[in-house]
Amino acid sequence: MRKINTRQFNRATRSTPREINRKIVLNLVREHQPVSRADLARQMQVGRGMITQLVDELIGHGIIAEGPIANAPRGRKPRLLHVETRDRYCVAVDVRFSRTHVALTDMDGRQLSMETLETVRDPGLLVAQIAASVQRLLDAHGGVGQCEGIGVVVPGMIHRRTGLILNSPQLGWRDVPLREALANATGLRVLIENAPIACALAQMWLPPFARDGVDSFAYVTVGDGVGVCVVDHGEVFRGHGDTAGEFGHLPLSLDGPRCMCGLRGCLEAYTSNVATLARYFELDASVPSSREALRGYDFGIEDLIARVRAGDVRATAALTETGRYLGIGLAGIITALSPARVVVSGEITAAWDVIGGLVAAGVRERTITSAAASTPIVVAPPGDASRLRGATALLVARRFAAPKVA
């Protein structure tokens, strides 16, 4: 049960139950489209009259639309409903250690076009380059009129209410007002999140939708850094100050390699893409000059995996060590949080046939109950652009999420 905060709350009004019912109808249409009014009434266990009123309101606001007439064995043939997505776009921005991707997507996260930029370290210059890219993409698709806004995914800790990037070790940023700067540069609404939270939102809000009704999971992103988002009954756990989920900076060893955050032995220092590549090239990823050298190699984790498949012994050693430590890290997450499942995403999942057994072994060895050891580990499809989908999901979730009443 969630305690009502008597110092900060939203009072329920006469319109609140109706707004909740509208959101229920909207989400049912989205997940089962095309769907008839009669089907909606059966799923909500209410009368057709109530559904008709709610549907008419949503049609009037241009949120859902009527489609073709369905075949029916008898009686009046129903007109099917679907969510109105025509000519409605989202801009998705994925800021990474080396490259920044700017994509135009539809409301289901499908990419329509994309540009890729070098990630410059000057925030002002990067904002100007992103804004120019956004303008080009929108101009090519009819302008900004139907754009829902810009979703931005960045590595690091974000203050949700202000949009301030509190600390991004990979980018070397502290207290950077990226959201405000990009909104001013584009005139569009900008939402910003770190990678694991955005990816978890995509898992919940973008197709294909989970059919088992389980919305309690831990989403682990393995990229330039390592992050975790905890979702409990469909709600992201953010913690005090909105900075929960930094499992990538829990220590596996106090005497381990130095992490980019400045500490030693972090999970991220063993398992991130930067750590894996630095291990292969025998560089110290905590040293700025070494990180810049990695950027200059134009060699990514996909290239390393290709060398593993070609029989490169050193590449195989670097990758399998990552898998072994990732299993240990996931065991700690499972022990601490007891999620119904763990979802892992990132380029490294393309080599899950190589490291999956090592990861599972690490989980079995480091968990303390048989139930924890058998926690399902689900791998996001490689190449599914999880972070860009997550950027889109920031905007989609705002439209479809249930209203808060207390």
Based on the fold, state whether residues 40 and 78 are members of the same structural domain: yes
Claim to verify: residue 225 and residue 339 sit in the same structural domain = yes
What's the average model confidence in pLDDT over 59-81? Answer: 79
Which of 22-31, 103-112, 182-191, 226-235 has maximum average pLDDT? 182-191
In a domain, 10, yes or no: no
Question: Which of 35-39, 50-54, 95-99, 371-375 has maximum average pLDDT?
Answer: 371-375
Confidence of residue 213 (pLDDT cuts 50, 70, 90): low
State whether 313 and 360 are in the same domain: yes
Containing domain of residue 27, as a range? 16-83
| Judgement on whether residues 58 and 109 belong to the same structural domain of the protein | no
- Give pLDDT tens digits for 24-37: 888 888 888 889 99
Q: Which long-range contacts (CB under 8 A, 24 or more apart) does 57-66 make?
A: 57/22, 58/22, 58/25, 58/26, 58/29, 63/26, 64/26, 64/29
CATH number of the CATH domain containing 318? 3.30.420.40
Please give the Cα distance from 203 to 196 (Å, whole number): 10
Q: What is the pLDDT of residue 382?
A: 72
CB atoms under 10 Å from CB of 148, counted, come to 21
- Split into its structural domains, the chain has a count of 3
* Together in a domain, 117 and 265: no
> Is residue 6 over pLDDT 50?
no
